[in-house]
């Protein structure tokens, strides 16, 4: 066709109206076709008889109509010529609509492509006449062409195909935008009324169903930012000077650091920022003047796809993760690669049936104003006072919020979400923690969870609440299973808990237990006067040393003995670690108590330390927890567990966060 259309922005509402009408009437047309087929099926007639009935009805109706209806092929051209009025066009649409439904339902040979175009052109021509009478802008022929595409798009649910077909008929670029508007709108309207195209529903009616393509779910599809982020984030204070920051960069493999102020993320600084300002600014300039303020971040519950989009969109190498404006982690591309590798290798999979997720039945929330969060699982009312006292001391120094957890274990035959439990005693215990928090003006959150597995409930809480440190009690009794070292719950937490872990074993014996029962906050810890600190130079020992000044200050310790056991056959002992640990404690405690070092020669580390603790009657022994494999522990023995089991003192085991 050599027809050339016109288009004006004022006509857009009319094209939108045409799209809506085409969508509504096409949905009605599709339903009419299906209803006609069902009607003929109920008649139980042969195909020739059904075609005969449809032909008779169609012939009788057409015989009563004007001569233009006698030529089916010429009717569409007549509608596109613009030489007919709105009365003829309306009659053509209604008659063609009904006759097509009657004929197709009978099973007579013929398709729906041509009827869709004729009906669309008639509908478009009617809207075009209305527009021309009101505005006098566009030609009704343009609307007839747009209506052809719109009606076919709504019937077949192929908007792009409809646009291409009508455009190929005219090769008129002015028609593209009207076609796009009407075809897309009609498709959306029709799809809201009935999903799927008419052709698909006709195939399903004949017993042909399209195969469901099973798309394999990506191994990372369900991951959130909190699942892949690094929880231990090295940060710089906003008041740190340029010289100090340069020193930090030189001692680290990282190329950028988040900058925090009062526990909140305020910026990010990279090596490029340092290089640009190193020669321009004096060394005592605070890094807040050269950092990138208000960096791009993601929330802890954002999906991995969103994280990848942000990293690629802004060409970032690192992405801070926030929870309520609090920095809880950081994500780099290496973290995503590691998560993919773990998923592909099946590292996260568990053998055997896994327990149902724990179910929370009681929560209280305080203002989230701390820079971190410490979890205190409470199970024994006897040890709760001293645990909460220690937690308060650590929390005040590190500006931590306190998260107190009570886990109620149930049988695996019951569902945690469907089991009723009595929480009276649990809530009474948690209220002690809330009172302590109010006394010390520390945010205290509490929760009670029902679970098949206590360790699993604790791990779920660590993940959901972004815990930085766990402090919990431990009975210290030897496990009956050869595959368990500290006991099932503690073993699981030592292996899997991603944050710092501090375990407290109170001394066993009637006199001490009675003391605990009657203890008030502050009375028991102040009996810890003499401390024994065995070191081995590992990361767990280093983390334990960092906590000792806090605990020793709380207990008003009088003497701290730092010791290291050396093998007699190893020659002259290297005292570097022992001397560094002693110097560190002296600097931190500033003369508050006596700090001495004692080197020991012995073939058995655990036996030597147990003998020393018993002979000198130390009140507290602080050691690093071991994470060696079961085979290595079976050969060499688990030294921390042996010491904790062999001494009568209070034992504090410390395990550094996993990297």
Summarised one tens digit per residue, pLDDT across range 73-116 is: 666 667 666 677 788 888 888 888 888 888 888 877 777 888 88
CA distance 426 to 431: 9
CA dist 143 and 401 (Å) reads 67
Please, which pLDDT band fits residue 444 given cuts at 50, 70 and 90? Answer: very high
Give residue-wise pLDDT tens across range 476-510.
655 444 444 456 788 788 888 889 999 888 876 54
Owner of token pair 């505005």: 135
Cα–Cα distance, 37 to 201 (Å, whole number): 12
SS3 state at 355: coil
Tokens of 2: 């050599």
CATH classification code of 353-473:
3.40.50.620
Query: What CATH number labels 225-345?
Result: 3.10.580.10
Asked if residues 508 and 476 have their Cβ atoms less than 8 Å apart, the reply is: yes
Beta partners for residue 319, in sequence order? 331
pLDDT at 485: 46
Query: How many residues in total does the chain contain?
Result: 659
pLDDT category at 215 given cuts 50, 70, 90 is very low
Strand partners, 96: none
- Give the C-alpha separation, 379 to 595, whole Å: 34
In the predicted model, what is the mean pLDDT of residues 624-628?
A: 59
For residue 332, the cross-strand partners are 318
pLDDT in the model for residue 68: 72
Residue 456 near residue 353 (C-beta atoms within 8 A): no
Confidence of residue 249 (pLDDT cuts 50, 70, 90): confident
Same topology, domains 353-473 and 503-659? Answer is yes
As a whole number of angstroms, the distance between CA 644 and CA 653 comes to: 8
Q: DSSP string covering 583-651, please?
A: HHHHHHHTTSSEEEEEEEE-S-HHHHHHHHHHHHT-SEEEEEPP---HHHHHHH--HHHHHHHH-SSEE
Helix (H) or strand (E) holding 125, with range, is helix 113-134
Query: Confidence class of residue 39 from pLDDT cuts 50, 70 and 90?
Result: confident
| DSSP classification of residue 19 | H
* Residue-level pLDDT at 108: 79
For the ranges 124-128, 405-409, 435-439, 487-491, which has the lowest average pLDDT?
487-491
Nearby residues of 113 by Cβ (< 8 Å), 6 or more positions away: 152
Q: Is residue 448 packed enough to be buried (19+ CB in 10 Å), middle (13-18) or exposed (0-12)?
A: buried
Give the Cα-Cα-Cα angle 344, 349, 351 (nearest 5 degrees): 140
Distance separating alpha carbons of residues 593 and 597, to the nearest angstrom: 13
Global pTM? 0.57
Which pLDDT value is given to residue 516?
39
pLDDT of residue 352: 40
β-bridge mates for residue 261, sequence order: 264
pLDDT level of residue 645 (50, 70, 90 thresholds): confident
Q: Which residue, chain included where needed, has tokens 């701290």?
A: 560
Q: How far apart are CA 30 and CA 198, in angstroms?
A: 6
Residue matched to tokens 């602080």 = 622
Domains of the chain, residue spans: 9-205, 225-345, 353-473, 503-659
Q: What is the mean pLDDT of residues 163-186?
A: 88
3-state secondary structure of 395: helix
The CA-CA-CA angle for residues 433, 514, 491, to 5°, reads: 60
- Radius of gyration of the chain, Cα coordinates, nearest whole angstrom: 39
Number of C-alpha atoms within 13 angstroms, CB side, residue 604? 11
Mean pLDDT of 105-134: 84
| CB hemisphere CA count around 455 (13 angstroms) | 15
CATH superfamily of this structure's domain 503-659 = HUPs (3.40.50.620)
Give residue 157's region: left, alpha or beta (phi > 0; psi -120 to 50).
left
Angle between helices 605-616 and 639-646 (to 10 degrees): 30
- Tell me the C-alpha to C-alpha distance, in Å, between residue 294 and each of 263, 306, 614: 14, 19, 56
* Average pLDDT taken over every residue of the chain: 82
The full DSSP string for 54-80 is: HHHHHHHHHHTS-GGGG-HHHHHHHHH
pLDDT tens, residue by residue, 387-401 = 888 899 899 888 899
Burial of 289: CB neighbours in 10 Å, binned 0-12, 13-18, 19+: exposed
Q: What is the pLDDT of residue 570?
A: 78
Task: Read off the pLDDT of residues 501-557 as tens digits, 9 standing for 90 and up.
Answer: 998 888 765 444 444 344 455 555 568 899 999 987 667 788 888 899 998 888 888
Question: Where does the pLDDT of residue 616 fall: very low under 50, low under 70, confident under 90, or very high at 90 and above?
Answer: very high
Res 211: pLDDT: 59
Residues 624/596, Cβ–Cβ less than 8 Å:
no
Q: pLDDT tens digits, residue range 53-72?
A: 888 888 888 788 777 776 66
Residue 657 to residue 328: CA distance in whole angstroms = 14
Q: Is the dihedral of CA 627, 629, 632, 636 positive or negative?
A: positive
What per-residue string of b and e applies to 39-70 under the rule 16 or more CB within 10 Å gives b?
ebeeeeeeeeebbeebeeebeeeeeeeeeebe
Written as six digits, the tokens of 298 are 């993601």
Please state, in angstroms and rounded to a whole number, the distance separating the CA atoms of residues 609 and 478. Answer: 18
Pick the CATH number of 9-205 from 1.10.3080.10, 3.40.50.720, 2.20.25.90, 1.10.10.10: 1.10.3080.10
Q: Residue 107, Cβ neighbours under 10 Å: how many? A: 17
Q: For residue 526, give the H/E element and its range.
A: none
pLDDT at 364: 95
Q: Which residues of 212-246 are buried (b: 16+ CB within 10 A; e: fewer)?
A: eeeeeeeebeebbbbebbbbebebbbbebbbebbb
């Amino acid at each position: 066709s050599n027809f050339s259309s016109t288009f004006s922005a004022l006509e857009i509402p009319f094209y939108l109206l045409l799209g809506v009408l085409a969508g509504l009437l096409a949905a009605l047309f599709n339903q009419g076709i299906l209803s006609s087929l069902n009607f003929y099926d109920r008649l139980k007639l042969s195909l020739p008889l059904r075609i005969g009935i449809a032909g008779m009805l169609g012939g009788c109706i057409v015989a009563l109509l004007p001569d233009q209806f006698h030529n089916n092929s010429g009717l569409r051209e007549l509608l596109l010529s613009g030489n007919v009025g709105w009365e003829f066009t309306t009659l053509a649409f209604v008659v063609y609509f009904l006759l097509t439904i009657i004929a197709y339902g009978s099973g007579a040979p013929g398709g729906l492509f041509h009827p869709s175009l004729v009906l669309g052109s008639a509908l478009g021509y009617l809207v075009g006449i209305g527009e021309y009478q009101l505005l006098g802008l566009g030609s009704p022929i343009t609307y007839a062409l747009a209506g052809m595409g719109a009606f076919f798009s709504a019937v077949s649910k192929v908007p792009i195909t409809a646009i291409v077909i009508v455009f190929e008929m005219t090769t008129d670029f002015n028609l593209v935008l009207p076609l796009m508007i009407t075809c897309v709108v009609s498709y959306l309207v029709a799809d809201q009324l009935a999903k799927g195209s008419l052709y698909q529903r006709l195939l399903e009616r004949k017993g042909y169903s399209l195969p469901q393509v099973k798309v394999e779910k990506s191994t990372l599809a369900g991951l959130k930012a909190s699942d892949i982020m690094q929880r231990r984030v090295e940060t710089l204070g906003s008041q740190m000077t340029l010289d100090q920051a340069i020193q930090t960069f030189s001692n680290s493999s990282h190329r950028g650091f988040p900058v925090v102020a009062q526990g909140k993320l305020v910026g990010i600084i990279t090596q490029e920022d340092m290089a640009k300002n190193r020669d321009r600014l004096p060394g005592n300039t605070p890094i807040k003047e050269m950092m990138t303020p208000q960096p791009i971040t993601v929330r802890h519950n954002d999906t991995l796809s969103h994280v990848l989009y942000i990293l690629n969109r802004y060409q970032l190498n690192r992405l801070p993760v926030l929870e309520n404006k609090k920095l809880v982690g950081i994500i780099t591309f290496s973290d995503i690669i590691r998560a993919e590798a773990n998923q592909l290798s099946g590292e996260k999979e568990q053998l055997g049936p896994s327990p149902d997720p724990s179910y929370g039945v009681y929560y209280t929330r305080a203002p989230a104003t701390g820079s971190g969060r410490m979890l205190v699982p409470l199970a024994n009312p006897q040890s709760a006072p001293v645990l909460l006292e220690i937690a308060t001391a650590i929390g005040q120094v590190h500006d931590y919020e306190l998260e107190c957890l009570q886990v109620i274990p149930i049988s695996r035959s019951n569902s945690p979400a469907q089991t009723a439990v009595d929480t009276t005693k649990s809530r009474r215990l948690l209220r002690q923690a809330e009172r302590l928090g109010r006394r010390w003006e520390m945010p205290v959150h509490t929760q009670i969870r029902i679970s098949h597995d206590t360790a699993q409930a604790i791990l779920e809480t660590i993940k959901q609440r972004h815990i930085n440190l766990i402090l919990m009690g431990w009975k210290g009794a030897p496990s009956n299973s050869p595959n368990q070292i500290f006991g099932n719950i503690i073993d699981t937490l030592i292996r899997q808990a991603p944050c710092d872990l501090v375990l407290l074993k109170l001394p066993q014996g009637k006199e001490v237990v009675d003391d605990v029962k009657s203890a008030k906050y502050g009375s028991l810890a102040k009996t810890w006067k003499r401390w024994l600190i065995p070191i081995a130079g590992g990361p767990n020992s280093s983390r334990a040393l960092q906590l000792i000044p806090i605990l020793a200050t709380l207990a008003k310790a009088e003497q701290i003995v730092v010791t290291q056991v050396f093998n007699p056959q190893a020659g002259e002992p290297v005292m570097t670690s022992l001397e560094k640990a002693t110097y560190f404690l002296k600097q931190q405690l500033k003369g508050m108590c006596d700090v001495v070092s004692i080197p020991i020669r012995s073939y058995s580390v655990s036996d030597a330390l147990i003998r020393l603790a018993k002979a000198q009657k130390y009140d507290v022994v602080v050691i690093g927890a071991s994470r060696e494999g079961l085979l290595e522990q079976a050969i060499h023995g688990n030294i921390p567990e042996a010491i904790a089991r062999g001494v009568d003192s209070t034992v504090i085991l410390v395990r550094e966060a996993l990297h």
